Amino acid sequence: MFYKGEIIQIIEVESYNMKKQSLLLIVTLTILFSACGDNVYNTGKYDGIDQKVDSLLSLMTLEEKIGQLTLYTSDMDQTGAFLRPEYIEDIKTGSVGALFNAYGAEFTRELQEMAVNETRLGIPLLFGYDVIHGHRTIFPVPLAEASSWDMDMIKLTAEIAAREAASEGLHWTFAPMVDISKDPRWGRVVEGSGEDAFLGSKIAAARVHGFQGDDLSDEYTLAATVKHFAAYGAAQAGRDYHSVDMSDRELREVHLPPFKAAIEAGAVSIMTAFNDLNGIPATASTYLFQDILRDEWNFEGFVVTDYTAIMELLYHGVAKDAHHASKLAMDAGIDMSMQDGFYQKTLVDLVEDGRVSESQIDRAVKYVLRVKFQLGLFDDPFRYSSVERQEVEIMKPENLAIARDMARKSIVLLKNDDQVLPIKENIKTIAVIGPMADNQRDLLGSWSAAGDWSQSVSLLDGLRNNNPDVTFIYAEGTGIDDESRSGFNEAVAAARQADMVILALGEAYWMSGEAASRSDINLPGAQEELAKEVYSAGKPTVAVLMNGRPLTINWLDDNIPAILETWFLGTTAGDAISDVLFGEYNPSGKLPMTFPRNVGQIPIHYNMRNTGRPFDADSKYTTKYLDVPNEPLYVFGHGLSYTEFDYSPISLSSKTMQVSDSLEVSITVRNIGEVAGEEVVQLYLRDKVASVSRPVRELKGFQKIHLNPGESTEVVFTITNEELSFYRIDMSYGSEPGEFSVFIGGNSRDTQTAEFELIE
């Protein structure tokens, strides 16, 4: 049996006497600690990892510690991945602990060999990447996946993304993004789960479980990064990187719950937000990262900045120079600096000057090293860099099949007047018109990782491949962001030759995502004018939308009988859309974000608070616009089906509920249509009288059910005190006795209602 002091002594002797000390040190470290036995080291949550971290930390110089807190990027050119010469030197001197944008089994192995074989201690590198909605197989963008309301499928797509990415040498993904946003002008809504904290929390947990699995040491998993902490989705004016100013109640009720859910699901890293919150940049916020993250939530992973965020403290106007910026970040509890190199450049000086203590450095290094141990990198630094695994895992047929299924589940049928859809058997010639029709590149959406758009299935190809008995006539009509009308005549002529028209409209992939805010969220370019011209041909028409945010599509809603919101569906988009259009799959998606009528309604969301002058159409002096209804174009939770579902009245197990008890709420849902279908049954609550004004409705439960024609099922929800709790007038968290309304239906507006009372 070796004890800690003896092990450190042995390692020190090995370390300083060896010419090729690094690899032997790692082997010695691992073997010796394995020999210690559970009664010596496996005393805490991390089963001996913390003791290994402490022992390794005791051997490190200050410069080596700071290296572990430094993250730099690889680059890509036409020949593939490469690394800047100065970063290669940093790796060899132990001055960098992690790299991102470096992937590929051979490339990551080459870099890892530098770190393990050429540095004094041989500490392995951590390789990260933006694996947001797939790696090589690209799944629907996160906002689209959120439209499925299917947690099992969301977890599965994250799991497949992790397997593909891990097979190419990656250990760590900068996902999930869990920012709640009520403003579709903000481009990064495409990367999140919409406007609701409850749904967003469920999705955050599902994606963390998918990426990380049950055991992070499994080489098919990735370490997850929950981002961006915090309130990034509330940027003023919907403009990326802009300021955020909000009450603590809004922060805690709306923006923090998905982060907490992701951390409770086991996320091992968290990323800072670019914005300031109430005047304090997130990267310098002790309130966010010390008071809430560490002290309240007991987070034990590491905190990484977003790209150059410590440097940006200078531009926020809270730091006078690089040393000041680094001190602010270190004092806030920021563990790893991404790309700006400020920690590498300043922390030695700050420690020597006494402005930052070495114990602060040690704390941050421990968090980083712990994750490297959890990933098994000290057992085998090359376990993720396997050419054989890479060849097997990438874009397997089963991956593509799941991508197609996820894409179908993500489609939302917004409108279907006169049952235009699914396309009937007597339709033999279809005009497919618009800039998204024969488009492969944009279908992958933003943050498409290592995806190859040339392998994606366009709508036109999907239609032709899956429906050989139908003739498809194609006309582009106009470009995505093009004001040209030169193709209008060809498009109208194609429509006149056809039995039916599919209008494929939307945004380019670069119009949503980071740094992609829009003040005008209408269809870009001349697409609406194209739709009007084609509509004049008088043929039954379906609009298929491909976009990364809710759009203002009033003319389409007023005139086009059927509208499909397909978002950006990824590699198998065309096949999935064809499946829905022709009834091979009955759409079941529901909107995770409200569609406004115009930008003047923004922010607009289903769970607004009531006012002292609620809307009254007959009274001017109530909350309303003069020029547009209060109601959005499409409400949160909206989504139609090719069948119809009937909801019975709500049944309550009791009309009263005590704080310590629970209440069962049930409803019978029947498929009264002619085809099988899925329905997302949604439960909302309202606290009618409370110490603070409460939202008119809050999502507190949902279940996705499948029913055959004529089939019915009883859906049961259990309400506990947790569903009734909120931040009260004194900011304590809990419930208050009183009357509650419960609503159940297929969206946030059209519901059955019942009442109950919470009593002490």
pLDDT value at residue 258: 98
Please say if the pLDDT value at position 7 is more than 50: no
Helix (H) or strand (E) holding 677: strand 677-687
* Residue range 302-329: mean pLDDT, rounded: 98
Kindly report the average pLDDT of the chain as a whole number: 93
Question: What's the Cα-to-Cα distance from 676 to each of 642, 643, 706, 737, 745, rounded to whole Å?
Answer: 9, 7, 7, 42, 18
pLDDT value at residue 35: 40
Please say if the pLDDT value at position 326 is more than 60: yes
pLDDT value at residue 37: 37
Q: State pTM to two decimals.
A: 0.94
Please say if the pLDDT value at position 72 is more than 90: yes
Nearest C-alpha neighbor of 126 from the set 80, 68, 39: 68
Please say if the pLDDT value at position 678 is more than 80: yes
Q: What are phi and psi of 193, to 5 degrees?
A: -115, 10
Please say if the pLDDT value at position 480 is more than 70: yes
Q: Band of the pLDDT at 39, cuts 50, 70, 90?
A: very low
Look at strands 712-719 and 663-671 and give their pairing: antiparallel
Percent of the chain residues topping a pLDDT of 90: 91
Q: Band of the pLDDT at 83, cuts 50, 70, 90?
A: confident
Nearest C-alpha neighbor of 332 from the set 281, 269, 270, 289: 289
Please say if the pLDDT value at position 630 is more than 90: yes
Q: At what angle do helices 573-581 and 397-410 cross, to 10 degrees?
A: 50
Domain spans in the chain, listed from the N-terminal domain onward: 274-356, 396-601, 645-759
Please say if the pLDDT value at position 425 is more than 80: yes
pLDDT value at residue 80: 59
Please say if the pLDDT value at position 40 is more than 90: no
Q: What are phi and psi of 467, to 5 degrees?
A: -140, 70
pLDDT value at residue 77: 56
Percent of the chain residues topping a pLDDT of 70: 93
Bridge partner residues of 699 (DSSP): 684
Give the CA dihedral 13, 15, 17, 20, nearest 10 degrees.
150
d(CA 690, CA 729): 9
Query: Does the domain spanning 396-601 belong to CATH 3.40.50.1700?
Result: yes
Q: Band of the pLDDT at 76, cuts 50, 70, 90?
A: low
- 192-241 pLDDT, tens digit per residue, is 999 999 999 999 999 999 999 999 999 999 999 999 999 999 999 999 99
- CATH number of the domain at 645-759, please? 2.60.40.10
* Residue range 124-152: mean pLDDT, rounded: 98
Active site residues: 306
- 152-180 pLDDT, tens digit per residue, is 999 999 999 999 999 999 999 999 999 99
Nearest C-alpha neighbor of 581 from the set 687, 467, 475: 467
Q: Band of the pLDDT at 2, cuts 50, 70, 90?
A: very low
pLDDT value at residue 17: 35
* Residue range 101-123: mean pLDDT, rounded: 95
Inter-residue contact 115 to 123 (CB < 8 Å): yes
